[in-house]
Structure 1
Amino acid sequence: MEYSPIEKDKGQPSKLVNGLSVDVEDWFQVGAFENVIDRDDWDGLALRVEDNVLRILDLFAAADVKATFFTLGWVAKRHGSLMRKIVEAGHELASHGYDHARVFNFDRKEFGEDIRIAREILEDSTGAKITGYRAPSFSIDQRTPWAYMELAEQGYAYSSSVAPIAHDHYGWREAPRFAFKPLPWSDLVEIPVTTAILGGRRVAAGGGGFFRVLPYAFSRWAIRQVNREEQRPAVFYFHPWEIDPDQPRVPGAPLKSRVRHYTNLKKMAPKLTELINEFAWGRMDMLAHRQAEFAQELAA
């Protein structure tokens, strides 16, 4: 498949505003536990996402930053007042699908229904127009060429659903590292999560478990590389459960999943505070608008 890359911003690196995002799902909805916790059991488990999101809203308010909350329809359906608090605080509410099913496990019709239902729930709970989407587990890849067609036809302005690396759970190694237009007939913009170049190879540098497990100095180096050397905005993400060291432990989960999920939970909030105060951050829709605007300037 051929994609149209969006050229880098010619502004000063110090002026770059990076994209800050939160993937709003609860502790039991993560991909690492999908073979251990059945979806039919979700309603019987302790819901912790609201308290964690409220903590995040306070953290962002203290740093005076705005972000995008990519939220599951399942969560929004049960926490309508929380969705309104996100929007009232000036953040963007965007779609993360309905129940964290990965896109490459759908066909196009199923995917279209999933993003339609999730969007309706999000819009009905807040009255806000939903224009952004992030696939659960960054699951748009070479197997799902129809996903962008469906997003464009449903009126989404942007997606941030690609991790351009190789990973055992996800990844599209051949995808562009920076924003691109996946469809020649649409203004839809894809904004991949950030990677850096280390030893000639792409390495994940956009948040999540990598941010928790690795020293903060690595993330500082990676974002500086992207901002200063490549003159690109970085895209960072994390989950509400990552600031919750007291969340329940999942019996029977594989060792690798437990290590990934529970490592450094106590350190996450302080690291986030340092990160959002060191760099400039903004909402993903603002970043997408700038990328699309610049693409139009290039074509003019």
Structure 2
Amino acid sequence: MQNGLSVDVEDWFQVGAFERTIDRADWPALEGRVEANCDAVLQLFADAGAKGTFFTLGWVAERYPALIRRIVDAGHELASHGYDHQRVFAMTADGFAADLKKTRAILEDLGGVAIRGYRAPSFSIDTRTPWAHPVLAEQGYAYSSSVAPVVHDHYGWPQSPRHAWRPVAGSDLVEWPVTTARFAGRTLAAGGGGFMRLLPYRFTRWAIARMNEEGHPAILYFHPWEIDPGQPRVADAPIRSKLRHYSGLSAMAGKLRKLLADFEWTRADALLPAQQDRARPWRAAA
């Protein structure tokens, strides 16, 4: 079974762990490493013959237009990650709509392709944003991968479905959550990112195999900075943020190589028709 491979394209200073430590106004003065790290990711994918989806910040695209063209020219899907990593639940509906429109215009102009997919920064679509999916549907997005059906201190909508679902009546929009696993009556985050860095590789492999056994493709995500152990250290960040961000960086590239070899991977949009066919409506209880 083919699985969905995705990359959240953001730089090391744009992450949720540092949002209260590094001011957005200081971003332009910081060392940019996202282009070199994305090129390393592109090479990993090329070596494995894999295609993926690059959920990209508009802020990054504006500064590295040649990178956007390399992503598209290599046959990968270009999708939206919002403009500057603002969490959706921190916006209004109008602000969210403007963020989507602005980012899509940037990506489509630079990439020369239609933008059909969206992933919210830090999986920030949840019970606080009942307007988010309708706004995505109104703007014609085909799918979102923005809900984490888990309990987490930064995000999560634990009551939501683990598999693709339809959040807006009368719309073809699909919400496709990143991979989770059921164990001992609990839903465990298993879709990549920090969980992949911190936990043994065999857990990620088990979770993806389990998802495939259930008859569903997995969808994995990671960030370019996660394969960059040499990135700058934020000295005044909280200890918890440092542990969350820096742990396991040196092992991540090796884990990705194993994963690329152990499973079949493709773009999220290549798997979307099957997800649309299987997705069923779901609404949170009032």
Instruction: Note if contact 2:150-2:157 (Cα within 8 Å) is conserved in structure 1.
Output: yes
Deviation at 1:264, TM superposition (A): 1.3
Structure 1, unaligned runs of 5 or more: 1-15
In 2: Cα distance, 1:289 partner to 1:256 partner: 40
Instruction: Note if contact 2:164-2:279 (Cα within 8 Å) is conserved in structure 1.
Output: no
Deviation at 1:295, TM superposition (A): 5.2
Q: Which amino acid aligns with 2:244?
A: R
TM-score scaled by structure 2? 0.96
- What residue number does 1:203 align with? 188
- Counterpart check, 1:93 vs 2:78: yes
In 1: Cα distance, 2:258 partner to 2:97 partner: 39
In 2: Cα distance, 1:27 partner to 1:50 partner: 11
- What residue number does 2:16 align with? 31
Deviation at 1:224, TM superposition (A): 1.1
SS of equivalent residue, structure 2 residue 194: helix
Deviations 1:206-250 (A, max 9, x none): 00000001000111111111111x111111000000000000000
SS of equivalent residue, structure 1 residue 281: strand
- Counterpart check, 1:187 vs 2:172: yes
- Counterpart check, 1:56 vs 2:41: yes
In 2: Cα distance, 1:234 partner to 1:294 partner: 14
- What residue number does 1:244 align with? 228
Deviation at 1:294, TM superposition (A): 4.5
TM-score scaled by structure 1? 0.92
RMSD after superposition: 1.0
- Counterpart check, 1:224 vs 2:195: no
Structure 2, unaligned runs of 5 or more: 281-286
- What residue number does 2:284 align with? none
Q: How many residues align?
A: 280
In 2: Cα distance, 1:198 partner to 1:282 partner: 27
In 1: Cα distance, 2:17 partner to 2:258 partner: 27
Q: Which amino acid aligns with 2:57?
A: L
Deviations 1:238-271 (A, max 9, x none): 0000000000000211111101111111111010
SS of equivalent residue, structure 1 residue 69: strand
In 1: Cα distance, 2:254 partner to 2:198 partner: 13
- What residue number does 1:7 align with? none
Percent sequence identity over aligned pairs: 62
Deviation at 1:289, TM superposition (A): 2.3
Deviation at 1:179, TM superposition (A): 0.2
Instruction: Note if contact 2:165-2:279 (Cα within 8 Å) is conserved in structure 1.
Output: no
Q: Could you list the runs of 4 or more consecutive aligned residues of structure 1 that deviate by over 3 angstroms after TM superposition?
A: 293-296
